[in-house]
């Protein structure tokens, strides 16, 4: 088996410049993350606030922490002191809470709107129209402590690469459309271990890769 550092190097070599790699370290122990850190990785993604906060407390402070999981409004306060980017914003209520908590710490938190592109019912996210309405709403314009930098999406979990490509194309079209109005838009977060090569063909600027760096996750322990 390859080392974490070797996996990281291999993936970095396949990414075009301008594509940011978020190393998804959920469920993995700190020594694994430190191996990636020592190989130069500085952006890590987690999907549970408690786990991310513990890792933030114990690890070097030049790491940028990305929350990639679904966020409950009442949990925002726990990550507001340090989180760099929240990927799965899907309501005005959540956006307002992030703004309120960021203001308490005199910070600006980067946010991505999660768009529902997969067929599967279980996937979270806004419809394209709801995302457009949200961005255009007066209330959102007033939020000074969040910066909405772009969109995030997850394709259907399938072997059918045409379906994945169609889903990524949908979000790419929306991203390009919104970029013309919202000049702060620079991030399209699509692509995971199984589909990041397709995502790059569809204009991804940020990939979220876990198992191809750290190995398969074991949720039973």
Ligand X SMILES: *Cc1c(COP(=O)(O)O)cnc(C)c1O
Q: Which residue in 210, 166, 201, 171 sits closest to 188, CA to CA?
A: 171
Q: How far is the CB of 180 from ligand X (least distance, A)?
A: 27
Query: Which range in 123-131, 136-144, 162-170, 203-211 contacts ligand X by CB under 6 A?
Result: 203-211
- Taking the least distance from each CB to ligand X, the nearer of 148 and 190 is 190
The interface mask with ligand X, positions 109-148, x = CB under 6 A, is ----------------------------------------
Q: Which of 8, 21, 89, 209 binds ligand X (CB under 6 A)?
A: 209
Q: How far is the CB of 121 from ligand X (least distance, A)?
A: 17
Q: Does 24 bind ligand X (CB under 6 A)?
A: yes
Q: Which of 132, 194, 203, 215 binds ligand X (CB under 6 A)?
A: 194
Coil vs helix vs strand at 162: helix
Q: Does 47 bind ligand X (CB under 6 A)?
A: yes
- Taking the least distance from each CB to ligand X, the nearer of 88 and 146 is 88
User: Per-residue b/e over 123-144, b at no fewer than 16 CB within 10 Å?
Assistant: bebbebebbbebbeeeebeebe
Q: Which residues contact 93 (CB under 8 A, 6 or more apart)?
A: 73
Q: Does 208 bind ligand X (CB under 6 A)?
A: yes
Angle (deg, nearest 10), helices 4-14 and 30-38:
50
**What is the rounded distance in angstroms from the CA atom of residue 162 to the CA atom of residue 73?**
35
At residue 125, φ and ψ (nearest 5 deg) are: 135, 165
- Contact set with ligand X (CB under 6 A): 24, 26, 47, 68, 154, 192-194, 208-212
């Amino acid at each position: 088996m390859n080392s974490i550092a070797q996996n990281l190097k291999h993936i970095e070599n396949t990414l075009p410049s301008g594509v940011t790699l978020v190393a998804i370290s959920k469920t993995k122990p700190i020594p694994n993350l430190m191996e990636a850190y020592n190989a130069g990785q500085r952006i890590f993604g987690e999907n549970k606030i408690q786990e991310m906060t513990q890792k933030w407390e114990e690890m070097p402070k030049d790491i940028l922490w990305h929350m990639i999981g679904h966020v409950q409004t009442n949990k925002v306060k726990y990550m507001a002191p340090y989180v760099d980017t929240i990927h799965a914003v899907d309501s005005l209520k959540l956006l307002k809470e992030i703004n309120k908590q960021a203001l308490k710490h005199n910070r600006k938190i980067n946010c991505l709107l999660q768009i529902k592109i997969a067929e599967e019912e279980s996937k979270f996210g806004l419809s394209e129209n709801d995302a457009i309405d949200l961005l255009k709403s007066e209330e959102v314009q007033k939020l000074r402590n969040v910066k909405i930098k772009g969109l995030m999406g997850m394709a259907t979990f399938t072997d059918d690469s045409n379906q994945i490509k169609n889903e990524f194309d949908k979000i790419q079209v929306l991203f390009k459309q919104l970029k013309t109005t919202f000049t702060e838009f620079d991030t399209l977060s699509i692509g995971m271990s199984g589909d990041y090569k397709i995502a790059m063909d569809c204009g991804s600027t940020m990939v979220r890769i876990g198992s191809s760096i750290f190995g398969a996750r074991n949720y039973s322990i």
